[in-house]
Amino acid sequence: KMNIKDSKILVLGGWGLVGSAICRRLMVHNPAQIIVTSLRMSEAEDAVNQLRNEFPNANPEMFIPECGNIFARNEHKDMDWNAVLSNPESRKTVISDIFNDLTDEVLKNSALYTVITKHQPDVVIDCINTATAIAYQDIYNTSNTVIRGIKNNNLDTEAIERLLSSLYMPQLIRHVQIVYKALLDAKTTLLLKIGTSGTGGMGLNIPYTHSEERPSKVLLAKTAVAGAQTLLLFLMARTPNGPIVKEVKPTATIAWKRIAYDKVYRKGRPIPLVDMEMANAKSVGDSFKFVDETGVNITGKDFESVFIDTGENGIFSRGEFTAISSLGQMEIVTPEEIAECAVFEISGGNSGKDVIQGMDAFTLGPTYRGGILQNSAVRQIDKLEKEHGIDSVAFELLGPPRLSKLLYEANIIKRICGNMKAFLNTTPEEMSAKSLALVSENGDLRAQMLSVGLAVMLPDGKNYLRGVDVKIPVKTGDIEIPVTEKEIEKWCFEGWVDLRTKSFIEWQQRITKIVNQVESIPAYETSSRYTYTKEYWDNFETFDEGKISGWVFEYEDHGWRFKR
């Protein structure tokens, strides 16, 4: 159970319709601090001032405004995004931040990472419509520019780079990576996402588009990004020692913030009022210009009307609002209802609306039958191995190369020593010499390793064997890359079969840990408490490559599941 009282809470998108409702709802539980973020500082300060006015007895300093585009670097977070992409240097930086490895440099320059680690909140509530922010960059129009350039043989660098910077999945993946790392580094306890279905709960028959085909591919792109984010959050929630992750996904029109008579805004700017006299009517010709001001009267005024403000979905006229909220259309859910549900979930309640919990409940995990049949399958494989006189080690189809490397190194140890006990009684120097002799003499074993893309580091640490292609280092598009001692160590860890003495020292340390783990189990203990027992390891009389590699992935690489 999460105690909101005296907790520090970061509300991303706290000025918006849902974000502001959640901030008000949180105040019922007396948090220590609420950090409110919005795209613009004026919005964040407005949200904070509203909270100070509504809760005059609260310490004014408990409300903190933060601003900027959380999907950008700190240096770009307050800039118009088109201006960022119009600059060749900043455009290249954007692409690098999306596609390159997630380095400390990328993290520490991220606006999102910075705001989370700066405040180190106990809870992060994300009310930003990530799907809209990413999908409405509209990869389709960007792609059309590139396609025309290819067709006309005048494709320029900017068009390609703009296309790369608008690709949905790489952006979303990098965003989730940054969120996860920031939450870990800030020691945040819980993340709650206010998600979206992208269609207001309607299906592929949704009639609301922005002049695209029906159903709108741009709208469905938003749904696809929203769905992908939910699955990534589902995996984050299944990550041991990480934050608790929840998502509430409204499936109706969220309304409303205010009803007013004012200027009508589109994309943050007033709609300029234009006119065309009847005398300037145009005749239908052979072509149509998308932009044509001839005969158009720029009045110098802005469009003003009565409207209902639905937050991020924009402002609607009476007619638009009536249509979209009609029975059988998107209908309505209020921000206060969403806030009540969200805060109830944060408090440890079960609203039944957390989609992560729903996916946990309704996905099909490991089964009893599968566990029983796994033993049968392994016995059949063992039988065929004996019949054909071969070891089935690794094909590098499952990945990662580190798994194949571990399996082949373990297989080499098994071929030389036969079991764990004998291996621990052999010196690392002797193992290194014998492994070199084995690889030199056994052409089949050598060919298998090289053919699946593994390199073999020889005992001298200066020479290696390889096939035509290698899995590690990962191809980056370069024909050649420099080799350093640091890179060699990295490659040996990630996917090179390592025959050096130091490798076998590490293997003996690993097997010693396994033995000590088993021997720490009390002799009288025969319950279901322990998994890795003497029986599991066949009393150390074997050297099972798969079992040992599974243990390594759990205890060394911390890759284990705790939800079934």
Residue 20 identity (one-letter amino acid): S
Q: State the CB neighbour count (10 A cutoff) for residue 199.
A: 20
**What is the per-residue DSSP string for 151-182?**
HTT---HHHHHHHHHT-HHHHHHHHHHHHHHH
**What is the per-residue DSSP string for 79-99?**
S-HHHHHHSHHHHHHHHHHHH
Q: Torsion angle of alpha carbons 156, 158, 163, 165, nearest 10°?
A: 160
As a whole number of angstroms, the distance between CA 210 and CA 535 comes to: 65
Contact between residue 438 and residue 412 where contact means Cβ atoms under 8 Å apart: yes
pLDDT score, position 387? 97
Q: For residue 257, which of 87, 21, 495 has the smallest C-alpha distance? A: 21
| pLDDT tens, per residue, the chain with 564 residues | 578 999 999 999 999 999 999 999 999 999 999 999 999 999 999 999 999 999 999 999 999 999 999 999 999 999 999 999 999 999 999 999 999 999 999 999 999 999 999 999 999 999 999 999 999 887 988 999 999 999 999 999 999 999 999 999 999 999 999 999 999 999 999 999 999 999 999 999 988 876 667 888 888 999 999 999 999 999 999 999 999 999 999 999 999 989 999 999 987 889 999 999 999 999 988 888 888 999 999 999 999 999 999 887 789 999 999 999 999 999 999 999 999 999 999 999 999 999 999 999 999 999 999 999 999 999 999 999 999 999 999 999 988 999 999 999 999 999 999 999 999 999 999 999 999 999 999 999 999 999 999 999 999 999 999 999 999 998 877 888 999 999 999 999 999 999 999 999 999 999 999 999 999 999 999 999 999 999 999 999 999 999 999 999 999 999 988 888
Whole-number Cα distances in Å, 499 to 408, 437, 438, 472:
11, 11, 11, 16
CB-neighbour burial class of residue 490 (10 A; exposed 0-12, middle 13-18, buried 19+)? middle
Residue 85 identity (one-letter amino acid): L
CB-neighbour burial class of residue 194 (10 A; exposed 0-12, middle 13-18, buried 19+)? buried
Which residues contact residue 549 at a Cβ distance below 8 angstroms, ignoring those fewer than 6 apart? Answer: 403, 406, 407, 410
3-state secondary structure of 299: strand
Whole-number Cα distances in Å, 271 to 248, 284, 491, 553:
34, 26, 57, 58
